[in-house]
């Protein structure tokens, strides 16, 4: 049993490292790539505050998706909100003492897993049966839904059916988090738990290399995050200045 | 598509239906390919270079470093399907590669193969593909079935704008020597002669004189169309179609009447006698900048104080959103006015101030609706409030006529459809695409014609006007159904012999 404990502890470190650095690298890459032209999809806000509101509406209530397609919106919002609640509930396994907010989320979190599965099955059904969406789907789209479904189903089963020694698991997780290797607690090895953790670790590793990059991507989309003020404020990319505006004959920038 | 072929005009749908997929119906060889001399005029190779694959991948890498939009949009798509029924070319042709996401994926599959770890290791799993000749041909064909209208970007939960991808694809195609004839024939004319039509100064002067005489005959008043007048206050930059095409020319007459009645000092420039900027269509920052710099030079040479743009959609996008970037700063102009201004902003302001009077009954034989031009609606603004680009043109129309009716809400304002001919597609070798792409707009028009007896559809874009004049008859409407907003203004404006002092 020591093998599984060591294996999952190492996997957890590796996955966290890949997720953080992979995602960090992509965010860095997005941040340093210039947007040379003003391209907000208009009507667009005229102030930075307005842009914050616009992005919040996109991120929290999926405004554009709502305008676009009510079914995709419904399944997407059910899935994402349920996922948030589930994630908040799971924080209890990573902290001691447990925050009040996380304690409060506990009863909702347990049942949110059903909502999460409903959303996922809805999205899967659309992908399989709506001809247009089926046409554009590639294997990794299904793989992503499959991973999330495995996580959701195994987690729900652990919560309500097969059970596991959750106290022991929390002890394991805390010792991993605290780098307390000399005193590494043993991990329970129920099949369902191993499946659950394997899927979670896989998802963490896949995250920075996949379409899950839509999470940072939305914040960097010039169509959504730019202020509509091109006439009032001159906007020039550094490469454009270098390429066109540093020769003596041409105009100066501000 | 390249040859004259017969095609069926789509039938009006009884109600909006989910498009049925007909894979490959619009597969073809794309629009005519640019000839070597046109390519060379723009600094591109004359024909497809031998090592096109490597050149294309290098160029893609270069663009990924220069454009955040491209980088982020290529990573962000989750293939949710929100855009799949939003493109007028998808609706009109049913070719699945005209779904915005599928169009993007033609580009994204190559990006994934060459620039992402997943695509390098597991191409099949993530839908990555090598840039084969077939893929390149698909690019040429399908990226010339996108009018860069941005309708998909409104509905995408991540704001992905296919226009950005299609511009990048066209720039790569140009870089490997596979340019589109229509765009690449026109851009050099701007550099050499001053406008898209290749109308030289004497011909332009002649045309304007003729129009002055026509207006004198019609109104009995001397209304001027000044050309290259140094020291004028206002430089008017307008699409060259306004100088000769119908119904555009009546819009130009409308501008002249407004300027006359406002007592404004204005001029056209023979050097910058074109508002349109086809540099945007081919995604070339370099060319877009060169075309924009002409306007700066004309403004400096003619010592004007303000720049106003005539009715033109993509031109207004480049003017409103990019001109300051590409040819600014404009601190040598009168800082009390935005640079540039749209002619509708100008006219609206004069109406508000009571400087010009309009007799609505002059347009009583017309019942109007308004087609929001795609690039005006989704890439620009007018006035000082978001959405002014919808309200100001409507207010101008309503000030000129008694009968105005909007089309269906999901076909106007920021949900408007492209006319079908934007983004460098306004060429007869793409006529089938243009007719089919006009379907959703024609359906919405049919409804207001049936419900309210609408007789005319106003537009503020040279491409929209030319496109509609051509495709309206295919759907059973008269080609003169489309009309310039400033034709309405010109017909309704109350002219006095003595121009008023500036208001």
Residues B155 and B198 in one domain: no
Mean pLDDT of chain A: 94
Q: What's the CATH number where B139 sits?
A: 1.10.1060
Q: How does residue B6 score in pLDDT terms, banded at 50, 70 and 90? A: confident
> Do residues A72 and B82 make contact, with C-beta atoms less than 8 angstroms apart?
yes
* β-pair type (B266-268, B234-237): parallel
Q: Which two tokens stand for residue A160?
A: 């309500």
Q: Do B67 and A35 touch (CB under 8 A)?
A: yes
Same domain, B201 and B115: no
Nearest Cβ partner for A62 among B157, B324, B386: B157
Distances (CA, A) of B263 to B223, B234, B256, B489: 10, 11, 10, 16
| Closest in B126, B155, B381 to A140, CB measured | B126
Q: Note the pLDDT of residue B19.
A: 73
The answer to whether A70 faces chain B, any CB pair under 8 Å, is no
Give A55→chain B minimum CA distance, Å. Answer: 10
- Closest-CA distance of chain B to residue A18, Å: 13
Which residue range forms the structural domain that includes residue B83? Answer: 48-176
pLDDT > 90? residue B234: yes
Taking the CA of residue B68 and the nearest CA in chain A, the distance in Å comes to 5
Q: Which of B438, B449, B361, B448 is nearest to B399 (CA)?
A: B361
User: Is B157 part of the contact surface with chain A (CB cutoff 8 Å)?
Assistant: yes
Digit-coded pLDDT (tens) for B99-136: 999 999 999 999 999 999 999 999 999 999 999 999 99
pTM: 0.94
B12 belongs to a structural domain: no
- Angle (CA) B322 B324 B329, round 5°: 165
Residue A252 has pLDDT above 50, yes or no: no
- Measuring CA to CA, which residue among B210, B70, B334 is closest to residue A220? B70
Q: Tell me the three state secondary structure of residue B306.
A: strand
Tokens 């195994």 appear where?
A: A154
- Kind and range of the H or E element at B488? helix B485-492
Is the distance from CB of B199 to CB of B234 less than 8 angstroms? no
User: Would you say residue B338 lies in a domain?
Assistant: yes
Comparing alpha-carbon positions, the chain B residue that sits nearest to A131 is B21
Claim to verify: residue B304 and residue B416 sit in the same structural domain: yes
For residue A63, the chain B residue with the least C-alpha distance is B157
Give, in degrees to the nearest 5, the angle at Cα B384 between B383 and B387: 75
List Cβ neighbours of A78 (8 Å cut-off, separation of 6 or more).
Answer: A115, A116, A118, A119, A122
- Region class of B447: left (phi > 0), else alpha (psi between -120 and 50), else beta: alpha
Interface of B with A in 300-339 (CB under 8 A): 320-322, 324-325, 327-329, 338-339
| Sequence-ordered list of residues with C-beta below 8 angstroms from that of B128, at least 6 positions apart, any chain | B109, B110, B112, B113, B116, B118, B119, B120, B122
Smallest CA–CA distance from B121 into chain A, residue: A209
Q: What is the CA radius of gyration of chain A?
A: 23
> Are residues B163 and B94 both part of a single domain?
yes
Q: Same domain, yes or no, for B143 and B210?
A: no
Percentage above 70 pLDDT, chain B? 97
Looking at the fold, whether B398 and B258 belong to one and the same domain comes out as yes
Distances (CA, A) of B351 to A170, B18, B261, B425, B488: 72, 44, 11, 35, 14
Is there a contact between B127 and A138 if contact means CB atoms under 8 Å apart? Answer: yes
3-state secondary structure of B236: strand
**pLDDT grade, residue B20 (50/70/90)?**
confident
Query: Is-contact B311 B325, C-beta < 8 A?
Result: no
Closest chain B residue to A205, measured at CA: B118
Tokens of B12: 């009006």
- Are B62 and B153 in a shared domain? yes
Could you tell me the residue ranges of all domains in chain A?
2-244
Looking at the structure, do residues B197 and B142 belong to the same domain, yes or no?
no
- What pLDDT is recorded for position A1? 52
Domain range A2-244, its CATH number among 1.10.1740.10, 3.30.465.10, 1.20.950.20, 1.10.10.10: 1.20.950.20
B502 domain-assigned? no
pLDDT digits 0-9 by tens, B345-404: 999 999 999 999 999 999 999 999 999 999 999 999 999 999 999 999 999 999 999 999
| C-beta of residue B130 within 8 angstroms of C-beta of residue B112 | no
Task: Identify the DSSP state of A227.
Answer: -
Q: Is B140 part of the contact surface with chain A (CB cutoff 8 Å)? A: no
Q: What distance in Å separates the CA atoms of residue B72 and residue B66, rounded to the nearest whole number?
A: 12
List b or e across B374-404, with b for residues whose CB sees 16 or more CB atoms inside 10 angstroms: bbbbbbbbbbeebbbbbebbbbbbbbbbebb
pLDDT digits (tens, 9 = 90+) for B273-302: 999 999 999 999 999 999 999 999 999 999
Does residue A92 surpass a pLDDT of 50?
yes
B72, B285, B387 member nearest A30 (Cβ): B72
Angle at B355 between CA B213 and CA B350, to 5 degrees: 90
B32 has pLDDT over 60: yes
Among partner residues A33, A136, A221, which is closest to B99 by beta-carbon distance?
Answer: A136
Q: Buried b vs exposed e over B1-22: b needs ≥16 C-beta within 10 Å?
A: beeeeeeebbeeeeeeeebebe
Q: pLDDT digits over B185-221, tens only?
A: 999 999 999 899 889 999 999 999 999 999 999 999 9
**Residues of A numbered 221-250 whose beta carbons fall under 8 angstroms of chain B's beta carbons: which are they?**
221-224, 228, 230-237, 239-240, 244
| Cβ-defined contact of B118 to A210 (cutoff 8 Å) | yes
pLDDT at B2: 44
Residue B406 shares a structural domain with residue B324: yes
B215 within some domain: yes
**Over the stretch A196-217, which tens digit does the pLDDT of each residue have?**
999 999 999 999 999 999 999 9
* Number of domains comprising chain B: 2
Residue B102 lies in a domain: yes
Which chain B residues are closer than 8 Å to A34 by Cβ?
66-68
Specify whether B254 is located in the same domain as B391.
yes
């Amino acid at each position: 049993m020591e093998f599984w404990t060591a294996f999952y502890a190492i996997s957890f470190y590796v996955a966290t490292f890949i997720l953080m650095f992979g995602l960090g690298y992509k965010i860095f890459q997005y941040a340093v790539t210039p947007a040379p032209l003003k391209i907000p999809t208009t009507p667009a806000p005229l102030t930075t505050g307005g842009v914050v509101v616009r992005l919040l509406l996109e991120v929290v209530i999926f405004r554009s998706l709502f305008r676009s397609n009510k079914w995709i919106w419904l399944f997407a919002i059910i899935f994402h909100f349920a996922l948030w609640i589930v994630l908040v509930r799971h924080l209890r396994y990573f902290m001691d003492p447990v925050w009040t907010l996380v304690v409060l989320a506990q009863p909702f979190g347990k049942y949110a897993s059903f909502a999460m599965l409903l959303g996922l099955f809805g999205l899967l059904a659309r992908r399989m049966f709506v001809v247009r969406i089926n046409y554009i789907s590639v294997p990794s789209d299904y793989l992503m839904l499959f991973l999330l479904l495995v996580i959701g189903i195994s987690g729900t089963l652990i919560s309500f059916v097969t059970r596991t020694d959750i106290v022991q698991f929390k002890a394991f997780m805390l010792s991993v988090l605290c780098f307390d290797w000399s005193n590494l607690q043993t991990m329970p090895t129920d099949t369902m738990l191993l499946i659950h953790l394997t899927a979670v670790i896989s998802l963490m590793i896949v995250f920075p290399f996949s379409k899950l990059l839509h999470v940072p991507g939305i914040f960097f989309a010039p169509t959504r995050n730019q202020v509509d003020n091109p006439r009032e404020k001159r906007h020039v990319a550094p490469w454009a200045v270098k390429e066109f505006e540093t020769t003596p004959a041409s105009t100066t920038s501000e | 598509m390249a040859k004259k072929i017969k095609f069926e005009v789509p039938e009006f749908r009884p109600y909006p239906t989910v498009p049925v997929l007909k894979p490959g119906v619009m597969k073809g060889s794309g629009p005519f390919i640019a000839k070597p001399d046109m390519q060379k005029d723009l600094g591109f190779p004359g024909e497809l270079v031998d090592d096109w694959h490597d050149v294309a991948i290098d160029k893609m890498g270069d663009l990924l470093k220069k454009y955040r939009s491209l980088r982020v949009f290529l990573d962000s798509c989750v293939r949710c399907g929100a855009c799949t029924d939003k493109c007028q070319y998808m609706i009109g042709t049913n070719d699945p590669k005209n779904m915005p996401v599928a169009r993007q994926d033609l580009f994204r599959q190559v990006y994934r193969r060459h620039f992402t770890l997943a695509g390098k290791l597991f191409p099949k799993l993530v839908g990555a593909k090598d840039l084969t000749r077939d893929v390149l041909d698909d690019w040429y064909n399908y990226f010339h079935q996108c009018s860069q209208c941005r309708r998909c970007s409104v509905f995408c939960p991540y704001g992905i704008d296919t226009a950005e991808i299609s511009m990048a694809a066209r720039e790569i195609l140009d870089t490997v020597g596979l340019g589109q004839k229509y765009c690449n024939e026109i851009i050099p004319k701007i550099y050499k002669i001053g406008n898209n039509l290749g109308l030289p100064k004497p011909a332009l002067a002649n045309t304007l004189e003729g129009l002055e005489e026509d207006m004198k005959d019609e109104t009995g008043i001397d209304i001027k169309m000044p050309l290259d007048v140094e020291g004028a206050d206002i430089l008017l930059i307008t699409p060259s179609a306004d100088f000769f095409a119908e119904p555009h020319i009546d819009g130009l007459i409308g501008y002249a009447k407004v300027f006359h009645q406002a007592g404004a000092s204005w001029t056209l420039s023979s050097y910058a006698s074109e508002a349109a900027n086809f540099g945007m269509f081919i995604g070339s920052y370099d060319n877009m900048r060169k075309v924009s710099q002409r306007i700066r030079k004309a403004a400096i040479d003619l010592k004007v104080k303000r720049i106003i743009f005539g009715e033109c959609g993509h031109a207004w996008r480049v003017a409103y959103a990019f001109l300051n970037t590409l040819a600014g700063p404009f601190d040598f102009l009168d800082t009390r006015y935005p640079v540039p201004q749209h002619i509708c902003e100008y006219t609206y302001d004069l109406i508000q101030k009571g400087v010009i009077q309009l007799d609505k009954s002059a347009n009583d034989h017309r019942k109007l609706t308004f087609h929001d031009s795609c690039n005006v609606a989704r890439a620009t603004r007018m006035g000082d409030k978001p959405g002014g680009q919808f309200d100001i043109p409507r207010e101008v129309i309503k000030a000129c006529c008694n009968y105005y009716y909007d089309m269906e809400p999901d076909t106007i304002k920021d949900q408007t459809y492209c006319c079908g001919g934007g983004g460098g597609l306004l060429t007869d070798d793409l006529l089938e695409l243009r007719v089919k792409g006009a379907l959703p707009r024609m359906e919405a028009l049919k409804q207001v014609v049936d419900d309210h007896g609408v007789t005319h559809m106003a537009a503020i874009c040279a491409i929209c006007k030319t496109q509609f004049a051509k495709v309206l008859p295919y759907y059973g409407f008269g080609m003169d159904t489309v009309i310039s907003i400033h034709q309405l203004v010109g017909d309704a404006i109350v002219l006095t012999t003595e121009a008023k002092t500036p208001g």
